[in-house]
Structures are given as structure tokens and as C-alpha cells.
Structure 1
Amino acid sequence: MSTREISDRMPSGETLHALRITNAKDFYRSTDHEKHPPGFVASANSPGFKELRLRNRASQEYEISSNAAQRSSRGHEFDSSPPGNDNITAKPSNVQRQSVEYAHSSTMRDVHPPTAQPSGIFLQPETHPITEDQLINEVRAIYAGLVMVEKKCIEIVKQQNEKPEELTDLQWQAIIALHRTLLHEHHDFFLASNHPVASETLKELARTYTMPARMWRYGIHSFLELLRKRLPFSLEHMLTFIYMAYAMITLLLESVPAFEETWIECLGDLARYRMAIEEVDMHDREIYTGVARYWYTKAADLNPDVGRIQHHLAVLARPNQLQQLFYYSKALISVQSFTNARDSILLLFNPLLDPARAANKYSKYYPRVLTLFVEAHAALFTRHDVSTFITPAEQFLDQLDKHAGIIGPLFREQGVYIVAANYAAIFDFGHDDAIIPSMFNGLSQRSEMLDKAYKYWQENTACIQTDIACRTTHDQTISNSRQAASFASHFAFTTLDIILERLGDNNTLPCVHVSLAFLWCAAMVPGSMSYIQADVPWARLATFLNALIRPDTDMSEIVENEEEFPAHEADVSWQLPEDFLMHGLCWSRLYHPPGFFSEIAEDDERSIELPSVAVPRTRRCLWLGARLAKFNRWLDYNAESRTFSATAFANDLAVLSGQHQVLRRGLSGQHDADTSMEGA
């Protein structure tokens, strides 16, 4: 049966008036119009109620008490359930109902009473399987009631937004009850349309009518926004509604897995709302921040290419400026870029560029060197004059080595954030006029791209870097994407040069791994590499790779199997922590092989890094070095001496880059006095 046939069988207006209304008076206990918001129909006999289909839920409560003890009980119930726990409890009358009610079906009313046996044991009651036509009728009836409740919810929220008036507790409770009914109608619709006997057409109705999005928009989000605007007076009711909606979405996550991605993101949004309204107990705020981050991380694993989810993680990263910069930049250069992040990232950048706030932009509770790094990127993003970029960039470069030595293992994560944000700046944060991001659109198979890249680099031997000449003076303004990419490339690889100086420091391996992966992906897209190749410290990179080669390192295996992605070690996850941070970036698609993220560890396990992880990470770096050397362009590998070296072409590029050097190093004496807290 087609969708059109099912839609044509939706009940007419006259049929809707004949739908049963059970317990309507329990739902709206008062017929006093003054106790309800303007436009809210309170009488069970009014025409508006005749259009509502409310199935018989004798034990269901339609009024949520604002009693503090009950709210506390619900809060304890929410807190005691760890993220991802599918056993979040709710009132039996709300969530432990039958999946589909067939009260209107004459067949289902024909119940055969059990027959008592001499032994006192009753036989199993006879049941009659539901037919597809009966199921279609049930879905039609559920949808009709859902539309009526949805319409009423939209009207009330719209009216309260246009003509805000003070509402009493009973009025808030009535509106909450109405939205709860809408969520229950959606729940019944999902279960009925996904019944085992349902046809494929019937199962697709939820997608056809965009039911998950409608449930979130009209059943949850619009009402949450209304409650948020009425804070602090609506705080009690907002808490009640969040807990109720969280329990319902958790139930849907378990019972309707077809929309798992949507439910997980909804749970993250609800936890973020709960976090945002907690202004008293900072411990609770941290708990709900962790809950929201848990759900968003799961959502990012399911949809790594969606920049919107990275934007959510950026919001949760406050007040960590470096982490915010990383997630905002990732949202902008993901495969599916989230352009709204351009407005959000300005909330991070503007205070750092505002002269009126210059005295307060550095906090004693946050490392100054990281604030300088974010400030330099703020100048690149907003395209200020070059001097606004040069000053914080040079101070950051001067303090980076000292900072990396002080924080030790924490630099494993911070280093990845730093280099990944730098490479996002080379992509000009996905601006509309950005040149490089468009080169990574519509990529073909990696093997095919490699063959084309090998041929290109063999035929093109000119020692050039596109647009390198635009960074010669300090008194100009960064006016276009080409200039922004050139300055960003200079900044990114000067940063990498400092990191590569820390030979023997395993805490720098994650960011070097990300950098090598970026260079290899850029080499497969020759147009992008032409914007950065002169700035890359190839000689320093070769020295760093040589320091990774131990006497027991089997380089022959790494070089001979360079076409295959390095296999993971026993008892060690195939994915490294930085793999998840790269996952979803528009350039990283060329790095990880298909199915690489098919089996992944839980989020809390990824942050636990054992010493044994250094082995596969080192192999990855050496493997990427061998892949770059195969281009015979920038690096060379000698199998006899087991060493990497920069090619003559790379040395010529270094000379070219030196002629356009604008960032200076070695200013420690000037800035040490200004350096505040260097700890994490």
C-alpha cells in the first residue's frame, strides 16, 4: 500500500468529532477559564476537545505537581542514571503502556476469558493477530489525534510568545500536560508504524511526515524556549518538563532504534538545557555538562561528517578557549560544514580583539600562551591588519616550547588542538571565498588520487609556493582568503617547527601524527600542497622521524607494506585518541581506510592512554613518512642507512620560505615577565 493510499484514509473532520475523548476532565481538571492561559480551552465539552483523541489511560496523571519533594525525587532519579542508561525510570502510567492500543477494533474487543482447569491453572488467553488494515486504521487514528494536539501546542506557545502574560502554577501544569500528551501520541505513532506486521510503506511514514523533527520542534524545543524566556519564575516547571522529556526520549531510544541518531542528539540537547539553567550548584552543572558531552560524542561517532554536532561540543567546552577554537573550527571545515558556527566563534574572538577589554582578556586561571594562540586566530578569522596577527602569534611561538615542557602529558591533547586549528586556518575556516576547501570536494578513490598525484609531482618540479609573496610587510590588512591562507600556513608550520625540536618527547607524537596525516592528504591534492609546501620544515621533520627509528624497528616491513594501513597491535585499539579528533574533517577522509571506525571504544575509554599506545603511534608516523617519501619530492628514505632526509628540492623551498619570513622567534626576554599561569 502506498503512502498516498494511507494518507487518503486519514479521518475526515467529521470523523475527528466522533473520536473518543476519555478522561478529558482529568486532563483539564478545572473548567475555570481564568486558571488557564488565554486561548486555552479548559472545558471538556468545548469544540476544541471534540477534536482531540485521547485514549483511555485510567492510571495516567495529567497534572505534574510543583511540589518540591516530588521535583527532588525526579531530579534524583535523573541523576542516578548514568549517561546511556536505558533504564531511566518513569511513572508506569507514562511509559509502561501497551505498544499499540486496539480499543476501537471490534476484533480486539472480542476477548476470550481464560478457562480454569481442575488443577487451578489457567490456560493462556486466546489472542487474534492484527491485520494490516486494522493496523493502518490504528495509525490513522493515532495520527489524527496527534495532529490535533500538535496544533493546540503550537497555538498556545505562539500566543504566549506574542502576548506574554504571567501564568499560574496550574496553567503551567496544564501546558506541560498538553505537551506530554503530544509526546505520548508520537510514541504511540512510532510503535504502531513500526509494528512487526507493518508494511514497508507504513514503516516509512515516520520519515515521510518527518515525525522525529516535528516531535522535537513542537513537542519539546518550542516549549523549552518559552520556559527559558520566563526564567527564573518558570524554573520549577522547566526542570519538571526536562526530566519528563528526557525519560520519554530515552524510552524512544530503546523502543524505536530506527531513529537512534536523532534520539541521541535530542538527549544531548536536553542535558545541555539542564546544564544551562543550573546556576547555583556548579557540581551539578558539571555533571549535566558531562551528560551532554557523552551524548554529543556518541552522535559525532554516528555522524562524524556533520559540523552541527561539533558546534554543540564547542559550546560545552566553555571556558576552555583552546578546545572551543578546535571544535568551532572543526564545525566549519567538516564534510558538512555548519556555517552558523561563524557567528558563535565570534563570541570567543571578539573579547580578545576588543581594545576596551584588553586589560581583562588574560585570566590568571588560564594559560596566557593559549589565549595568545586563540587571539592570533581571531585576527586571521576576522581579517584584521597584519600587525594585530603578528603580535600575539610571535608571543605564542616564543612561549610554546616552555609551555609544552611544563604541562607534560596534557600536551598530547592540547598539541592536537593547536595543530588542527592551524590547519583549519589554512582552509580559511571555510569562508565563502576560501580556495583550498573546494579542492577537497568530490574526492575520488584514494588509490586513483594517489596515482594522479604521483604523476603530477613527477611532471611539475617548479620551486614555488602559491601566494607566498603576499606576506612581505606588517602594515597591510588581510583582505582576502589567499592572504589569510598564506599567513596561516606560515604560522602553522612555524608552530610545527618548534614542536619538532622536542626530540624524544612522546607527548608531541599525537600532534606530529596529525601533521603528517595532513601533509599526506594535501600531497594527494596537489593544488592544496602548492599553498604550503615551502613553509613545511622538511629537514626538521626528517630529523624527527629518524629519532623515532629504534634498533629493533622493522623499517623494511613498514616500507614494503606502505600501501596498507598499519595494522593495530595486540590488546591495543586500532584507533588512536587523535583519530577521533581528526574524524569528520574534510581532508581526513583521504587518510583513514574504509571501516576504520566500525568498532570503536566508549568515550570514557578513549581518554585512557596506556604507555603501549606509543608503539602504534610511532609506526603510524614512520608509515606516513615513508608514504611522503614515495612522492620523491620533499623527503627521501635510504633503506641501507635506515634514515630520512630532506631532498634538494625541499632545501630550495626552505630558502624561498626564508625570503618571506614575517614571524620572529627568540623573544623570551621580552615576554617572560608577562607570562602568567602556565599550568593546565
Structure 2
Amino acid sequence: MEDMTVSFHHSPSDSNGASGNWPFSGHVNELQHDHQMGNSSIDDQNYSYYSDAGGEPQGMIKQLRIHPVTEEQLINEVKEIHTGLVMVEKKCIEIDRKQAQSKTELSQRQWQTLVSLHRTLLYKHHDFFLASQHPSAGPVLKDLADKYAMPARMWRYGVFSFLELLRQKLPGSMEYMLDFIYLSYSMITLLLESVTDFRDTWIECLGDLARYRMAVEEFDKRDRELWAGVSRYWYNQDENQENGRIQHHLAVLARPDILQQLFYYTKATISVRAFPIAFDSITKLVIPLMNMQSQKGNLTTSFVTTHAALLMQAPVDEFVSRANVFLATLQNEISQVRRNGQQGVLFMSCNISAIFHYGSKYGVMETDFTLKLRNPTAEDRLSAIKWVSGASTAANHTTYSDLSSQLLFRASSLTFHTLIVMLGQVGDANMHPSVHISMAFVWCLMLNPAAIQRLEPLVPWSLLATYLNSLFDPDTIISKIEDESFPLLDDSTAQQLPEDFLIRGQAWSRVYYPERFFEGAPTEDNRPSIEGYSTEVARRHRCLWLGVRIATVCSSYSY
């Protein structure tokens, strides 16, 4: 059974999960009233009664007068709900903790009681969210759910802890685990529709629940694949693709495709919000493959074992041997690159992660590469030009350990030797996506002089120039590729390319894309499975535009 990953790590301020002093306790007593939330009074005079003679109405019934819910009513309602919620939450924490340490099998009645208790906690949370997010609620009331991490508490104490207990007690708890998964799934789906402020949280919870359902399905392969697809659907709906934890979840769902797993794990390490646990997951993935002979295995296996040698800091001879096997295999099988060339994008993305030493804070590039939350400015370009022209100050003299420098050199060599093989396939459109993201990476490096000065000698500039010249077609819009602005074509052309979604969320790629570039972008299920001609035209313009941009700040080749 797969290892499950905790999706939330928030801990309430006390050991029992309670939130401490409730902010309204000081003044709620002053807000005395006789109404409960949602109640309204209807005066007798609003009705016209039927007469005794003939039963005919004396007149039309007026519209009923409904009193709106007031802020005071909502405050009292939320306070009352939270008091009950904390009581049930404490009980759930206590029982889950006790049963997790016990090896005693629970009876049917005990399981039913536990399911009922956790169901009650979910209902309490549902009521809390509806009351605190009511349209009549003020800003302070609406902020309570976020301030006290109520979504995280609901998941951790209402769902996750109990699911882990149920999983621990398998197979005897299977029936109750399935029932509780379906119950939680229904409740969170309801919250997704009614409490939209926490949409990304609910989406991740639904993905996690579907992943649990997949994990416990050990007999029906079709059901397992179905729930894996459901989980993947929810994770891809998440608008916050900068979250490395989501990428880690997608890696788990990618089994047994080791290339997809390595891609998502490595992406998790260099996401804007990196997920450090992914480093250990990469290690567990690649170590079993280290015993395979370098001369055996297919393209994917040789690639993953090369990364294993990098990750495990194998002797340089072993790394070179494995890298040469991969590059030779790639050269022989380059015409069979699958997924409309996207397989090559996965190779390059993993290699870029290796350059950053898989997100390690001790990596050389992690120190040199200045990440920005904005697009490159004229100041960035001027800094790059000064470095190239020699007008800048002396090169970065920061001292690094020999090991860190060696690992950077190995990863960079693997990256650009892979690119050399791809650049040799002039005329093969399947290589364009890989070349595109490679050039995007080089462009981002050029805007960071301290970073590019280490890698500039390894970039195959001559081959790159030859490849770019082959991309010019009669339909090339010269003004687009020479303009400083990001090359967006006409409105009839999809602005996002398939590979954009693969490098989206990686920390280095933020410098490449314009602000709000992915706003309104189609989800994975809504993207065309077959690329049209317009996609290829847009991709060629991107590559040429990047070539011109790089040439403006680089002395190694010109436009």
C-alpha cells in the first residue's frame, strides 16, 4: 500500500486542537437578543384569513416580511458552533490517539461510534463555515476561518487522523474506511460549492481522499485506475501550481511510470513553494535502479539511473559511464520521443532540477540564482549586458566546496549534452518543445550574471544558432520576435503551449512568463490532445523570440 503524505501541517495553539481564547468572548455577552440565526418573525396581520362563509379568501396574501440575519446573531451563532466543535474535536483527537497506540481490534459498534463522532465533527465544521462566511458577516467574522486555520483543523482532526487509524486497522476496518471516505468526499464537495474562499484547499482535500480510495483498492485494477484519475483531476484543478506538495502528490499517482514520477518529484523540489520531502522520495525511487547494469535498460531507465548517480554522488567514473549510456540511447531513439515531444521536456526539466541540486540549500546555483516575483526589467537586462561586455565588476568570488562545484558541473554537462543531441535533429518538430524550455532556462540564466557565468561555457551556442535559423518560415512575424514584449499571437491562437504547463510553478520560470499569463488557462482535461498547426507556429515564434532576447545580452552568438 502506498505511503500517504500529510497534506496539512497546522497545529492548533494548544495540545488538544482548540484555538485558545475566542476573540468575541469579551463582548458577546453585551449582544443579548432573542433570535437564533435564520429565524424570522411573521406578524398575524400579514395574512388575510379565509371567511367562514364559503371558504373564499377575503383578499390577496401579502408578501411575508422576513427579518435579515444580523451581525450580532451571526456572532452568537458562530460562538455557539465553535464551542461545540472544540468539544467534539478534543474527543476525536483523544480517541484517535488512544486507538492508534492500541492493538486491540474494535467491535462493529465501536467503529460505528467512531464514524458517527467524526461525522459530527465534519457537520460542525460545515455549520461553522456557513455561518462565518454568511453574506451578512463582517470582515472580522469572515477572517476567523483563515485566522484559526479551520480548513486545516477539519482535515487533520476530522478526516486525516481517522483515515490513518482506519488504514492501520485494515483489513478489518475496510468497510468503515470506504464509508468514511465517501462521507468526507461528499461533505468537502459540498464545501467546494458553498464556501468558495477556500477552493484550493477543498480541491486538494478531494484529491487526497481520491488517492486514499485508490490506495486501499488492491483487487480491482479498473477501480484503482478510476480513482487515480479522479485524484489526478482534482490536483490539476488546483490553481496554485506553485505548490510543491501538489507535484509530490502527482508523482505518487504516476506510478509505475518512473519518468513521470521523477519529473514530478524533481519539480516539487524546485517549485516556488518547494516540498523538501520530495528529495527523500527521489532517493527511494532511484536507489533500486542503481544495481542495474549501465549497458542494459531502455531510454527511461538509463536516464533515471544517471540521475541516481548524480543524486547519490557516485564516483565521477560511474556518473560518466551512465550518462554516456543515456546519451547514446537518446541518440539512437530520438526519433521515437513520445507525447508530441513532451517526453523530451520531462528530460530537460529533471536536468534543470539537478542543476539546482534538487532544491538543496547547499547547491551552488541555489545561491547564485536570484529569483524574482516580477518580469525582467531594463535594469536586469543592463546588468546582464554589463557582465557580458566586461564592464561589470570582477566575477563572483564566493567560495564553494569542491563537491558542490563538481555536482553542478556534472548536472550542467548532462543538461547541455542532452540539448546537443536534440539540437542535432533539425527539422524534427518533436524537438521544439524541449528546445523551447531549454532556451527559456538559458534566458532566465542570462538575467542572473552570477549564475550564467558558471554555465555559459557549456551552452552549445553554435548548434543553437543553426537550429534557430532553421525555424524561420514565410509565416514568421519578424516584428513579433524582435519586440521586447512576450510574443503573444492573435486571439485565435492558444497562448499557453503544452510545455508551459510542465514548467509552470518552477521557481526559475517565474521570470519568463508575463504576469497573469496562466489566468483563465484551460485545465488539463480541457486541453486538446492533438496539437494543431497554430500551436507549432506559436512555439517557433517563442524559440525565435528567446533567441533574439538572448542575443541582446550575450556575446557568444548574435542576431
**TM-score normalised by length of structure 2:** 0.88
Deviates more, 1:451-460 or 1:182-191: 451-460
The alignment-based identity, stated in percent, is: 46
Aligned to 1:8: 26
Aligned residue type for 2:259: L
Residue 175 (structure 1) shift: 0.8
Matches of 2:34 and 2:402, distance apart in 1: 69
CA distance in 2, matches of 1:160, 1:5: 33
Of 554, 567, 585 in structure 1, the residue corresponding to residue 506 of structure 2 is: 585
Aligned AA (2:502): L
Alignment partner, residue 53 of structure 2: none
2:345 to 416, 419, 431: 416
Query: For residue 318 of structure 1, what is the aligned residue in structure 2?
Result: 255
Mapped to 2, the partners of 1:146 and 1:626 lie a distance apart of: 60
- The answer on whether the counterparts of 1:466 and 1:530 sit within 8 Å (CA) in structure 2 is no
Q: 1:231 to 1:342 in 2, by over 3 A?
A: same
Q: Is contact 1:9–1:140 with CA below 8 Å preserved after alignment?
A: no
Q: Helix, strand or coil: the match of 1:192?
A: helix
* Cα separation, partners in 2 of 1:294 and 1:10, compared to 1, 3 Å: farther
Aligned match of 1:40: none
Structure 1 residue runs without a partner (length 5+): 12-101, 471-477, 638-680
State yes or no: 1:155 paired with 2:77: no
Aligned to 2:532: 610
Q: 1:501: which partner in 2?
A: 424
Deviation at 1:10, TM superposition (A): 7.3
Q: Could you tell me how far 1:497 is from its partner in structure 2?
A: 0.3
Secondary structure of 2:335's aligned partner:
helix
1:503 deviates by: 0.8
TM superposition shift of 1:305: 2.1
Distance 1:111 1:132 in 2: 20
Deviation at 1:425, TM superposition (A): 0.8
**Deviation at residue 124 of structure 1 after TM alignment:** 4.3
For the aligned residues, what is the CA RMSD?
2.8
What are the superposed Cα offsets for residues 56-103 of structure 1, whole Å, 9 maximum, x if unpaired?
xxxxxxxxxxxxxxxxxxxxxxxxxxxxxxxxxxxxxxxxxxxxxx99
Q: Which residue of 1 aligns with 2:18?
A: none
What pairs up with 1:349-364 in 2 under 5 angstroms?
Answer: 349-353=286-290, 355=291, 358=292
Greater Cα shift, 134-143 or 107-116: 107-116
Choose which of 389, 394, 403 in structure 1 pairs with 2:324: 394
Of 168, 174, 177 in structure 1, the residue corresponding to residue 113 of structure 2 is 174
- Equivalent-residue separation in structure 1 for 2:241 and 2:369 (angstroms): 16
**Aligned residue in 2 for 1:225:** 164
AA aligned to 1:393 is: A
Call closer, same or farther: CA 1:506–1:391 in 2, change over 3 Å: same
Q: Deviation of residue 458 (structure 1)?
A: 1.5
CA distance in 2, matches of 1:103, 1:405: 77
Correspondence 1:136 to 2:67: no
**Highest Rg: 1 or 2?**
1
- Once residues 535 and 310 of structure 1 are traced to their aligned partners in structure 2, the CA distance between those partners, rounded to angstroms, is 30
Aligned to 1:625: 547
**One-letter code of the match for 2:253?**
L
Q: Which residue of 2 is the match for residue 258 of structure 1?
A: 197
Q: Residues 83-94 of structure 1 correspond to what in structure 2 (within 5 A)?
A: none
| Residues 214-613 of structure 1: pairs in structure 2 closer than 5 A | 214-299=153-238, 302-353=239-290, 355=291, 358=292, 368-407=298-337, 409-410=338-339, 412-441=341-370, 443=372, 446-447=376-377, 448-459=379-390, 480-555=403-478, 557-561=479-483, 563-606=484-527, 608=529, 609-613=531-535
Please say if residues 207 and 232 of structure 2, whose CA atoms lie closer than 8 Å, have aligned partners that are also in contact.
yes
Q: Do the aligned partners of 2:375 and 2:512 also contact (CA within 8 Å) in 1? A: no
Q: Determine the structure 2 residue equivalent to 1:660.
A: none
Distance change >3 Å, CA 5–CA 420, structure 1 → 2: closer
CA separation of 1:275 and 1:158: change in aligned 2, threshold 3 A: same
Deviation at 1:512, TM superposition (A): 0.4
1:310-357 CA deviation, whole Å, 9 max, x = no partner?
Answer: 11111111111111111111111112211111111112111012x3xx
CA distance in 2, matches of 1:103, 1:377: 69
Residue 146 of structure 2 corresponds to which residue in structure 1?
207
Aligned to 1:474: none
Tell whether the 8 Å contact from 1:569 to 1:616 is kept in structure 2 after alignment: no
Measured in 2, the distance between the counterparts of 1:266 and 1:191 equals 18
2-side partners of 1:441 and 1:184: how far apart? 46
The Cα of 1:631 is off from its aligned counterpart by 1.5
User: Aligned pair count?
Assistant: 524
Structure 2 distance, partners of 1:187, 1:201, is 19
**Contact 2:251–2:260, Cα closer than 8 Å, also in 1:** yes
Correspondence for 1:634: 556
Distance, in Å, in 1 between the alignment partners of 2:540 and 2:245 is: 33
1:403 CA displacement: 2.0
Q: For 1:102-121, list aligned pairs within 5 A.
A: 105=36, 108=39, 110=41, 112=43, 115=47, 116=49, 118-119=56-57
- Give the residue type in structure 2 aligned to 1:622: L
Structure 2 letter corresponding to 1:319: P
Paired residues of 1:426 and 1:488 also in contact (CA < 8 A)? yes
Match of 1:185 in 2: 124
Asked if structure 1 preserves the Cα contact closer than 8 Å seen for 2:272 and 2:507, the reply is: yes
Say which is worse superposed, 331-340 or 605-614, in terms of deviation: 605-614
Residues 293, 313 of structure 1: 8 Å contact kept:
yes
- For residue 465 of structure 2, give the secondary structure of its aligned residue in structure 1: helix
Give the direction of change, closer, same or farther, for the CA distance of 1:394–1:104 in structure 2 (3 Å limit).
same
Paired with 2:293 and 2:218, the residues of 1 have a C-alpha distance of 27
Change (3 A) 1:463 1:534: farther
CA distance in 1, matches of 2:264, 2:397: 28
In 2, the alpha carbon distance for the partners of 1:222 and 1:334 equals 28
**Which secondary structure state, in structure 1, belongs to the residue aligned with residue 558 of structure 2?**
strand
2-side partners of 1:360 and 1:10: how far apart?
A: 72
* Native 8 Å contact 1:352 1:361 kept in 2: no
Map 1:63-74 → 2, pairs under 5 A: none
